[in-house]
Each structure stands twice: as structure tokens, then as C-alpha cells.
Amino acid sequence: MISRRGLLGSAALLAGASAISGRLQAAGIPEAPTNESSAMQPPLVPSSGPDYQPVATLNGWTLPWRMNGDWKEYHLVAEPVVREMAPGMKAHLWGYNGQSPGPTIEAVEGDKVRIFVTNKLPEHTTIHWHGMLLPNGMDGVGGLTQPHIKPGQTFAYEFVLKKSGTFMYHPHADEMVQMAMGMMGFFVIHPRDPKFMRVDRDFVFLLSSYLIEPGAYMPKVTEMTDFNLWAFNTRVFPGIDHLVARKNDRVRVRVGNLTMTNHPIHMHGYHFEVTCTDGGWVRPEARWPEVTIDIPVGAMRAYEFDATEEGDWALHCHKSHHTMNAMGHNVRNFIGAPQRDLTRVIRKLEPDYMAMGSAGMAEMGEMEMAMPDNTLPMMTGFGQYGPMEMGGMFTVVKVREGLARDDYKDPGWFRHPPGTVAYEVASAAGPPPRQTGSSETRKPQIELNVVKPGANGKGGHKGHH
């Protein structure tokens, strides 16, 4: 264990985060947990200190900590990682503690935190604590508020958590490359009062985007607009975890955006309230109802709803190209084009040629086409009624009755009560309307107000028919 006095006395005190070097100092640094699983880990319930409802990170986990006196100590390791974006595709990225995005950091308002950051990247880095109130020298802007953390170095960041809310962390060093490579994570600060803004389930995920060409593993870091993979926590549909809630739970969803564009996040089946931004909690009288919340670049929004309606409710970005995967670019529009004769000619040269798109692209959702290794189809994933024809930023909110309080397991597809699923009718005319009451009350009651013109065409009288 290493005390604050020992830390500052034995290490060089620098402008900003403190550099740690040498075996003596390293011996006092807490172990850096690692996780390479792409499955959501159970929320990390606090074993001491103030009570709070821990968050569930989609396809992620919460970073464990240790107590050193009255300081909470964490250890982040910036390093190359391999992230499975969905079954059948892996990306070679940079992240923290084995994963991109890095683990969620959770603490409580008023906590004193010490975060060790070890650099195992091939270049220098820093960490900026996005949206947080802290001393200027701990803000993490390389060259401005601190020296860069060079490869092999470990720095310590120390500050007191002044305000509860939802924040993010990411580098402020070679930012274009490092964030494009996946270096980001969530920082959740819970209120000191365990009753304030309490919910039953609390989900978090970050929005990220990549350009990874078919067959490739590395993102193009210089891309600014033409991305082909839009992700929740660096996962794309059908690889994104579902948000599972008990019926009547109060549910919070926190969404952070570190992509290059805004994202209108839309949830089916509910009206929700926007309850938090990066700047803090929204007062009850200032909240507004939504079904879609736009998440600006570099910002966070949290919304809440009461899970009163059972079902499998879609949750997705409403920019349609953001719910597709890698094969969506440079595809010509052949809707309405007769391709039969063209196909016959091309097959003489390429027997396996298959014309597509004459009636839209939905057929791609159920076809298994040959593609380069490590490439996802543009649309994929199946539900209980067939192909869902989605990709990218899409998942499902599953509300069920009878779940245990801490049960986040996928309950499978919703069993709809009889008579509650849209159905085919025998003819275009549809079924006859339901008849209620006596025949007299079923007669249409129509009143027409007719104006009859006079002889000169300028006047007349009204009559009822």
C-alpha cells in the first residue's frame, strides 16, 4: 500500500498527474484487472461506503477498486486490444484493460479517487476526464496541463468528486488517432444520498464509429465522415446486449457520444423523461417527455421510464444508415431495373453471379453471401418472426414480469398474448368492422350544410340534408 505522502515524496511531482517510476513505487500500485469478454458483466455492487444502484454496461464491465486509507484507487492500462464487434468480426483497436471501450469507473459524490494510468501503447497518451470538475493539472490535456505519459510510464491522477452525474474519459493526446482507435470509457458518479435519483436498473453505453474495410481488422483513423460501422460500446447488431428489465422497474439509460456526428436515439413502446446531461441532473419541473433524444457530439444524455409495458421494444439510432453494417457503401440503386437479361450474360463469365436490389435490399437480411473473412453483412440478425434486416446501432429493450431484482439474463423472445400480433387478412378490403349497439345506432349520422346560390349567384339560403 502506498500513502499520498509516500507517493508524493518518492515520485517526481510534475505539473498535472504525478509520474510513478521504479520498483518501490510500482509495488504500491493496485493490480490492473483485465477483461476480454464481450458479454455484459453483472453490475459491481459496492461492498462498503454509501449505497447505490450500480450500472450495467452493455457488453462491458465496471472497473474494481481498492481502498487505501480514505482514497479509492483504480488502475487503467492503455493498450492494444482485440474487440469482437459481432460474431464473425473482430477489430484490432486501442483501449483499456483488455477492452474497447474501457471499463466503466463508478464512484460516489465526495469520494477521493486516485487513478493510476499505465501506458502500454506504442506512443504517448493522457486521459481527460470529460465533463468533470477537478483541478486544472488533473484535466489530462497533454502539453497544456501535464506532460505526456510515455510508453512504459505510469501516472497518477488524484481529485475529489464534486458532483454526481454521468461523465466520460478519453485521451487528449494524438486525439484523432487514439479516439478513432477506440480509447474511451464511462465515468459514473453516484449521488451521496442513496435515495436521490434512485432507479431499479441503470444501463450505460457509449456511441462510437469506425471505418474498417471489408476483410480488414484496423480502422482508418483519418476518416472524418464516411464510417461504415456504427456501434453501441464498440458492438454492432446483432452483437449488442439487450436491456433486460422487470415489469414496473424504474429504468435509466445513459448514452454518451464520442463519434463524429449526432445520433437521434429512439426507443419504441414508451414515452420517457430526459433526466440528466453532462452538466448535471435535470430538475423535475424542467424535464421534458420524448420518444427520441438527440445525443450531440461529445455529450451525454440520460433518460428514464417506468417499465410498465411488457414486450421486446426496439432501441436504435434513427439515422437509417447507422443501422447497417460494413457492406452498405457504394451499392448502386437497382430498384425497378430489369436485370434478368444482364444476369444471363454475366453468368457466362461468372457462374455464381446473383443480381440483387431490383425490389429493394431486404433480401440481404436472410441471404448468406460469400464475403471476405472478418466482414459482417450489411443487414443481419433474426427475431422470432424472421430476418430483422438491421445492423449497427440497434438493440432491444426486453421488459418481463417475474424477473428477479438482479436478473439481467436474456429472457428470450416475448410471448405475445393471443390476439395482440399484427396479422394477415384474406383480402385487401380487410375484415368487416366490429358491430356494436342496435341497428339504429349503427346508421351513419351525417349532416351536410348546403348553400344554395340565389338568382344573381351572390346570395342564397342554407338547408340541412
CA–CA gap between residue 421 and residue 401 (Å, rounded) = 19
- pLDDT higher than 90, residue 27: no
pLDDT tens digit sequence for 52-103: 999 999 999 999 999 999 999 999 999 999 999 999 999 999 999 999 999 9
Q: What is the CATH number of the domain that holds 193?
A: 2.60.40.420
C-alpha cell at 409: 439474463
Domain count for the chain, please give it.
Answer: 1
- Nearest of 63, 2, 1, 69 to residue 35 by alpha carbon: 63
Q: Is there a contact between 334 and 359 (Cβ–Cβ < 8 Å)?
A: no
Q: Is there a contact between 97 and 77 (Cβ–Cβ < 8 Å)?
A: yes
The model's confidence at residue 352, banded by pLDDT at 50, 70 and 90, is: low
CA–CA gap between residue 184 and residue 257 (Å, rounded) = 10
The model's confidence at residue 292, banded by pLDDT at 50, 70 and 90, is: very high
Q: Is 353 domain-assigned?
A: no
350 burial level (CB within 10 Å; 0-12, 13-18, 19+): exposed
Q: Is 255 domain-assigned?
A: yes
Rounded to whole angstroms, what are the CA distances from 430 to 148, 425, 435, 437, 443?
Answer: 69, 6, 15, 22, 20
Mean pLDDT, range 302-314, rounded to an integer: 98
CA–CA gap between residue 341 and residue 328 (Å, rounded) = 25
C-alpha cell at 211: 471505418
| pLDDT given for residue 436 in this prediction | 52
Residues spanned by the domain of 44: 4-306
| pLDDT given for residue 2 in this prediction | 33
CA–CA gap between residue 129 and residue 126 (Å, rounded) = 10
Q: What angle do CA 249, 265, 235 make, to 5 degrees?
A: 90
Q: Is 366 domain-assigned?
A: no
pLDDT tens digit sequence for 418-462: 999 998 998 766 666 655 554 444 444 444 454 444 444 444 444
Q: Is 239 domain-assigned?
A: yes
- pLDDT higher than 70, residue 34: yes
Question: Which has the minimum average pLDDT: 108-117, 170-179, 351-360?
Answer: 351-360
- pLDDT higher than 60, residue 25: no
Q: Is 410 domain-assigned?
A: no
The model's confidence at residue 169, banded by pLDDT at 50, 70 and 90, is: very high
Q: Is 232 domain-assigned?
A: yes
Cell 344573381, residue located: 456
Q: Is there a contact between 210 and 91 (Cβ–Cβ < 8 Å)?
A: yes
pLDDT tens digit sequence for 221-260: 988 888 989 999 999 999 999 999 999 999 999 999 999 9
Q: Distance between the two ends of the chain, CA-based, in angstroms?
A: 94
The model's confidence at residue 289, banded by pLDDT at 50, 70 and 90, is: very high
Q: Is 450 domain-assigned?
A: no
